[in-house]
Amino acid sequence: MNIGRVLFIAIFLFSSATLLTVSSALEMVKNSIVSPWEQDLRGQKKQLELEQEYKENLLKILETFNTGNAQLTDEQLSNFEEELLSLTVPAELKDLHFELVASLALINQKSDESDKEIILQKIERMLEQYSWLTSSWSMFLMNNF
């Protein structure tokens, strides 16, 4: 009888440990599975964070290169373009970023004044959609071009 009790306790302890291990493993698996809805929310949150970071960095770059009444030198202009191109651009703002970089490149081609005016007007129309950027970019253009 003594052996029966010991065997019963051993089997009980083994099955309890197995049950706890399996339930812990199932809980870990359950927590590691991300629903498509939750995954979409995570992606949206990441895009919003990326968008906010882009806006802050772009405004900082504009402040850095805003030289007052003096025009940017070729070296400063090159550095400005490199800074713009080094930004990580969120999907929502890729068109804006492309237009800014492309317009800046056109201005830098030493176009005549009428071409620059047309490009600057195009930029102004485009910036009407982005109120957070309008004042800084307009000030940058007025001071440097």
| 35-94 confidence digits (pLDDT tens) | 666 667 777 888 889 999 988 998 888 887 776 555 667 787 778 888 888 989 888 888
At 35, is the secondary structure helix, strand, or coil?
coil
Question: DSSP code of 87?
Answer: S
pTM (global) more than 0.85: no
- pLDDT at position 106, please? 78
Distance CA 100, CA 98 (A): 5
Q: What is the pLDDT of residues 93-125, one digit of tens each?
A: 888 888 888 877 877 776 677 777 777 777 777
